[in-house]
Amino acid sequence: MKSFYSRGKLLLSAEYLVLKGARALALPSKLGQTLSFENKPSRQLIWKSLDKSGVPWFNACFLVDDFSLIKTDNTEVADRLRHVLLAIRYQNPIFLKLSGGNVITRLEFDRFWGLGTSSTLIVNLANWAGVNPYALLNETFGGSGYDIACASAEKALLYSWKMERPEIEDCDFDPNFKNALYFVYLNQKINSRQAVKEFMKKDINDREITRANELSLLISTSESLSEFELLLWEHERFIGQLLSIEPIKEKYFKDFKGAVKSLGAWGGDFILATGDSSTPNYFKDKGYSTVFTYDELIY
């Protein structure tokens, strides 16, 4: 049996602009996804996906000859998966040509959290098939690729996509104020593919890319919580003006004393909040029950 593991991700800076080549600060998460494959003398690929509780959330059976779908309990997911399998076959023509088998994937995080259900799958599949995960991402889900970089990262990283290839810099972001950082799930899932599509229509100039690069570097090297909070506020203002969207703190958390920053596609998934031991209760009292400390979530 073959087994593969990839870590999830959070994007701390340059959301959206990373799609245009800006440098972003990205953090790998302690939670990820495993993929196991057991070869069988069969022409079928039997697929089972388990959630973080070990409960199946997706099942399918494909014919390995052309990955045609035999049966499934979720046609939409099966069609997307078939698209990925065909893209792998294009990169590696002998992938699963000789026989099929059983695949089991297992998430360590809620699949609605936006921590990388798709990206961890892409990297696990690429490692299994011996293909380029960035090329596979480009042929399937699309995106900047920072999440692909996080999947195997051992620490925080500065990421950018330039000249058709990823540029990845190790980053020593391990702030001495990390006990004041909290990640809060908003439970308002945003369609990131649609958000990407809409943003790519925008004209972004070099000055805006340069400013995003500066903010990413400054955030990654913050030496105090007050400096970090000021930079988060500036980043929110900058992106908010760019997107013509009201920052999340102004929209929902005006009475919160600390800083609040959107992560990833604005309006859903996780936010970053600065505060103290009372911070989780503030958000839980407002109905946001999933709150992680920095050390609980970040690898």
Which pLDDT tens digit goes with each residue over 225-275?
999 999 999 999 999 999 888 999 999 999 999 999 999 777 668 999 999
pTM summary value = 0.94
User: Structural domain boundaries of the chain?
Assistant: 2-169, 174-297
Are 31 and 108 in contact by the 8 Å Cβ rule? The answer is yes
Element (H, E) at 106: strand 100-107
Which spans in the chain are helix H? Answer: 75-91, 117-129, 133-139, 146-150, 192-199, 206-220, 225-243, 248-252, 279-285, 294-297
User: What pLDDT, on the 0 to 100 scale, is given for residue 199?
Assistant: 73
Q: Which fold would CATH assign to domain 2-169?
A: Ribosomal Protein S5; domain 2 (3.30.230)
101 bridge partner residues:
39, 45
pLDDT along the chain (299 residues), means of 10: 96 94 96 97 97 98 97 98 98 95 98 94 98 96 94 96 91 95 86 67 87 97 97 96 90 95 82 97 96 97
Rg over alpha carbons for the chain, rounded to the nearest Å, is 20
Q: Name which of 26, 35, 23 is nearest 8 in CA terms.
A: 26
Give the tokens for residue 92.
Answer: 């590696």
User: What pLDDT, on the 0 to 100 scale, is given for residue 194?
Assistant: 67
CA distance 265 to 55: 28
CA distance 244 to 178: 30
Q: Name which of 138, 159, 134 is nearest 28 in CA terms.
A: 159
CA distance 236 to 239: 5
Are 239 and 15 in contact by the 8 Å Cβ rule? The answer is yes
User: What pLDDT, on the 0 to 100 scale, is given for residue 195?
Assistant: 65
CATH number for region 174-297: 3.30.70.890
Q: Name which of 264, 260, 242, 240 is nearest 252 in CA terms.
A: 260
Residue type for position 128: W
Q: Residue 124, SS3?
A: helix
Are 24 and 216 in contact by the 8 Å Cβ rule? The answer is yes
User: What pLDDT, on the 0 to 100 scale, is given for residue 267?
Assistant: 64
CA distance 275 to 258: 5
Q: Do the first three CATH levels of 2-169 and 174-297 match, i.e. the same topology?
A: no
User: What pLDDT, on the 0 to 100 scale, is given for residue 166?
Assistant: 95
139-160 confidence digits (pLDDT tens):
999 889 999 999 999 999 999 9
User: What pLDDT, on the 0 to 100 scale, is given for residue 63?
Assistant: 97
